[in-house]
Amino acid sequence: QTFSDAFAGFGSNDGEPIEIEASELRVEDNNNTATFVGDVLVTQGETSLKTQRLKVFYVGSGAEKTEESAVQQKISKLEAAGGVFITSKDQTAKGDEASFDMNKEVMVMTGKEVVLSQGPNVVVGNRLTVNLKTGQANLSAGNGKVSGQGSGRVKVRIQPNSVNNDQNGN
């Protein structure tokens, strides 16, 4: 349960405002997307995401335009590319790309090496799937051929006596 609430921060109905900074933003009404480019930093509460390109898809992309005006459009998906670094309290996740499905509330991070750390403990694989609602994370290394190195197994390094510290009471 070490990552239990870590990624819940990115759930779409969290109570805190989301701040996004970047060097440029392109909003394309025709295909209902908004793309942030250049040192993108997204922060919400204690969770933050750094990447180079963040594409936001809002409802209605492709589908017919809903009745409510543009203001009430909801974000349906986020895609981060060009290196992704997420931190939340003392937990971090680093990979090449990440996509957030806001309807299913699932994040998938992929990369040659997806590195998940919590304090001193490090887990490495190449595909991380996180349920944003429960925060439950599942890391896999896929078959060795894909990541091109290692036996396709997840590598874990746990610092002795670091896990049973008072991690929010559990």
Partner 1 sequence: MVRIMRWLFPGVGLLILAVMVGLVVLFNVLSGLGATNMMLTSEGLVMDHPELSGHDGDRSYRVTAYRAIQRLSDPRVIDLETIRADITLSKDQSAQIVALKGTYNNATESLRLYEGIQLEWSEGYTVDLSEVEIDLSNGALKTSQVVSIRSDQGRVVAGKLDYDKAKGIVRFSDGIKMTLNPASQGQ
Binding site for partner 1 (CB under 8 A): 12-30, 36, 69-71, 74
At residue 144, what are phi and psi to the nearest 5 degrees?
Answer: -50, -40
CB of 92 to partner 1, least distance (A): 23
Report how far residue 164's alpha carbon sits from residue 56's, in angstroms, rounded to the nearest whole number.
Answer: 38
| 25 vs 158, beta carbon nearer partner 1 | 25
CB of 31 to partner 1, least distance (A): 9
- Tally Cβ neighbours within 10 Å of residue 163: 13
CB of 118 to partner 1, least distance (A): 27
| 44 vs 118, beta carbon nearer partner 1 | 44
CB of 147 to partner 1, least distance (A): 35
Q: Which residues lie closer than 8 Å to 15 by C-beta, 6 or more apart? A: none
At residue 10, what are phi and psi to the nearest 5 degrees?
Answer: -90, 5
- Tally Cβ neighbours within 10 Å of residue 91: 21
Read off the DSSP letter of residue 73.
-
- Of 105, 109, 80, residue with least CA distance to 93: 109
| 63 vs 71, beta carbon nearer partner 1 | 71
| 15 vs 148, beta carbon nearer partner 1 | 15
